[in-house]
Structure 1
Amino acid sequence: MSGRAPAPGGLALVEQLVNTLSVDTGDDRLAAEFGLSGAVLADAAELREALREALFAHAGHAFPAGAADRLNRLLAAAPLAVRVDAAGAAVLVPAGEPSLASGVAEAVAGAAADGTWPRLKACAADDCRWAYYDRSPAGRGRWCSMSACGSRAKMRTYRARG
């Protein structure tokens, strides 16, 4: 639960979605933050957790078997189209009715194109898994907050050694 600045551009939506669930307390704000209910809420929760697995993999951890297939299936349900704007620039837009999934797909595609997608990560702390944007020069950040999750992890490692 970081005090970091939000992720840039469309990745802020992905970060916001993933961070609607506080892993340590179980507090789930998905319905309230996005105004969802019923089957749409269940689909959004599945998308959120599939994204969390991808972000955890960005932080250098194993991507669980089948996780990429699950995320690909969820994003494929929100197809995008390329449109050219008045200035001649190509932009991605939802091919159908705009939805949370299409917004996420658009953000992921744009971030993959500009190289920022791998910098959106999930905290390595098992009791956190908060999404954060890694602004470190080398892109090797592991925790959402060095002062909280990072310090606890380093203290556990120190105590285990001695």
Structure 2
Amino acid sequence: MGGDLTLVEQFLNTLDERTFRRHGQQHVPADHLTSVEDLAGWLEEHSLAGRPLSPADLTAAVALRTALRAALSDDAKAAEALAGFPLRLTPDASGTLRVTAVSDVPGLDAVVETVASSVAAGGWHRVKLCAAEDCRWAFYDTSRNGGGRWCHMEACGNRTKTRTYRRRAD
């Protein structure tokens, strides 16, 4: 995955909206960023921990996640929400420029910079939310033409196609 979009994918999936039933088990939706401690744990797990966090940092993290998910859903509100996460061109020690985020929230800058690099390199279009209404899991589309719609064809794709078939058969 270009620019380590795995980090972005995992950040997006801290909101688990899946509600489907699979192998007799009902999936229960969950938000894994409901407290400052949750955010601190996620950042630590991804080696992004920095200064101690505040409730404002949690608010910013949830706002970023919401804005990125909205952008993947072609929601017009995404542009306004993403405006709170500015970027700058910053020279590095070798004299070249790099894009840096200036959110001042430990760890979030890495997510924003990865998204920005991915957009610039043309890889962002492969980050998607599953088209299954009862899933919406973020995934990186590895299909040859970039036309993948489901996080897992054998699960979400199969469920969706089976539902469509049954509706037509009735």
Q: Kindly tell me: are residues 37 and 95 of structure 1, through their superposed partners in 2, closer, same or farther at Cα, counting changes over 3 Å?
A: closer
| 1:49 aligned to which of 54, 66, 73 | 66
Residue 74, structure 1, aligned to residue 74, structure 2: no
1:65 to 65, 76, 79: 76
Report how many aligned residue pairs link the two structures: 146
How far did 1:96 drift? 7.0
- Name stretches of at least 5 consecutive residues in structure 1 with no aligned partner: 1-6, 57-62
Partner Cα distance (1:10, 1:80) in 2: 20
Partner of 1:9, secondary structure, is: helix
Cross-structure match for 1:34: 43
What is the aligned-residue identity percentage?
44
For 2:134, the equivalent position in structure 1 comes to 127
Is the Cα–Cα contact under 8 Å of residues 126 and 141 in structure 2 kept in the other structure? yes
| Counterpart amino acid of residue 68 in structure 2 | L
Displacement of 1:97 in angstroms is 4.2
TM-score (norm 1): 0.78
Q: What residue number does 1:115 align with?
A: 122
Per-residue CA distance 1:121-161 (angstroms, 9 max, x = gap): 11111121111111111101000000111100001100110
Partner of 2:150: 143
Structure 2 portions without partners, runs of 5+: 19-27, 45-52
Q: What's the Cα RMSD here?
A: 2.2
Change (3 A) 1:15 1:37: farther
Displacement after TM superposition at 1:95 (Å): 4.8
TM-score, length of structure 2 as denominator length: 0.74
Structure 1 residue 10, shift from structure 2 partner: 3.4
**3-state SS in 2 of match to 1:118:** helix
- Separation of aligned partners in 1, 2:17 and 2:54: 21
- Which structure is larger by alpha-carbon Rg, 1 or 2? 2
- Find the residue that maps to 1:135 and give its secondary structure: coil
Q: C-alpha distance in 2, partners of 1:22/1:37?
A: 23
Matching residue of 2:99: 92
Deviations 1:102-122 (A, max 9, x none): 222211211111110111111
